[in-house]
Amino acid sequence: MNFSFKGRDIISIKDFSRDEIDYICNVATSMKDLYEGKVPRPLNGEILASLFYEPSTRTRLSFESAMIKLGGNVIGFSDPTWSSAVKGENLSDSIRCIQSYCDVMVIRHKLEGSSKVASEIANVPIICGGSGTKEHPTQALLDMTTIKSEFKEIDGLKIALAGDLKYGRTVKSLAYALSLYDVELFFVSPSLLKVRSEVLKSLDDAKIKYTELENVDDIIDKVDVVYATRIQKERFPDEAEYKQVSGSYKFDVNLMKKAKEHMVLMHPLPRVDEITFEVDELPSAIYFKQAYYGVLTRMALLGLVLGKVK
């Protein structure tokens, strides 16, 4: 199947069908030679405006690397306190000007729906680089590329999502994307941080089998993928409770020994202490490899929306 993504905005994972996600993952995988510089770069002077109103290292640098590897260039900012935001300018006016300076924009902004608003205004494609607490579509797409690259087929996999399932925006987007496939899901979290009911409802609608549980130990030997996320201290009323709870989500070498041989451990990063450093050395620890798939996936997305990659 062949899709035209030219001119399209990347705002929410929910805008994508299963076929489209498959297509993007395949294009991402096909970017490997371009990533290595082995084939001519398809862009020539096109400009990505990289507009980060909120702190980010990984997402921002990943997009910028992807744009350059395609042959393009980058302008932008990573610190809104030194932009016209301090003069009281609203986001819409900024977007309407900046669209004259670029061919595509990636935006991270704390306001829910900011990327959506930008996409309705702008005459260039808008990519959401993380918007409020709800959406991070390119993270979900790179996670899908990672899983697909590791297992070839997503159908049939048993996947655990662990940690902060309530506030982590990556979990929501990933659960939605996975619900388009024939998977079984396990939500592992302290009761305070259980996955939101709207996510479960959408899984029910999609007839996805899932289980909620509190201890990763109960499930580590049954799943193909564990997707761990950071548990933030500030979510807990007192530190004692945090310590008690976070202990039950710590991935160490002993826990990992109980896993299936082919199981992979993913994490959107940054981690705090939910995965010990010893685990990094295991072949099943692929969270740093996700960064590599992130560049491939963003190369695919930028190339597709600019109409320069197929």
Check if 87 is active-site: yes
Respond yes or no: is residue 58 known to be catalytic. yes
Query: Contact between 47 and a copy of itself (CB under 8 A)?
Result: yes
Query: Is the Cβ of residue 91 or residue 220 nearer to a copy of itself in the bound state?
Result: 91
What is the token pair recorded at 51? 């507009």
Provide the minimum distance between the beta carbon of 25 and a copy of itself in the complex, in angstroms, as a whole number: 17
Nearest-approach distance from CB 63 to a copy of itself, in angstroms: 9
Does the active-site annotation cover 136? yes
* Bridge partners, 213 (sequence order): 188
Q: Which of 94, 131, 179, 246 binds a copy of itself (CB under 8 A)?
A: 94
Q: Would you call 271 a catalytic residue per the annotation? A: no
Site size toward a copy of itself (CB under 8 A) is 55
Q: For residue 73, state whether it binds a copy of itself (rule: CB under 8 A).
A: yes
Tell me if 45 contacts a copy of itself by CB under 8 A: yes
**Residues found in the chain:** 310
Structure tokens at 44: 């020539």
Stretch that binds a copy of itself, among 17-25, 136-144, 156-164, 264-272 (CB under 8 A): 264-272
∠ CA 191-193-194 to the nearest 5 degrees? Answer: 70
Cβ closer to a copy of itself: 47 or 193?
47
CA distances, 126 to each of 60, 104, 108, 144 (Å) = 14, 6, 11, 21
- Counting contacts by CB under 8 A, is residue 68 touching a copy of itself? yes
Active site residue 109: no
Whole-number Å distance between alpha carbons of 87 and 7: 31
Give per-residue burial for 132-160: e unless 16+ CB within 10 Å, then b.
Answer: beebbbbbbbbbbbbbbbbeeebeebbbb
Phi, psi of 293 (to 5 degrees): -65, -30
Asked whether 273 and 233 are in contact (CB, 8 A), the reply is no
CB of 172 to a copy of itself, least distance (A): 19
Residues 303, 309, 310, CA angle at the centre, nearest 5°? 130
User: Judged by CB under 8 A, does residue 237 bind a copy of itself?
Assistant: no
**Residues found near a copy of itself in the complex (CB under 8 A):** 37, 41, 44-47, 49, 52, 55-58, 61-62, 64-65, 68-69, 71, 73-79, 81-89, 92-94, 96-98, 100-102, 269-272, 277, 280, 288, 291-292, 294-295
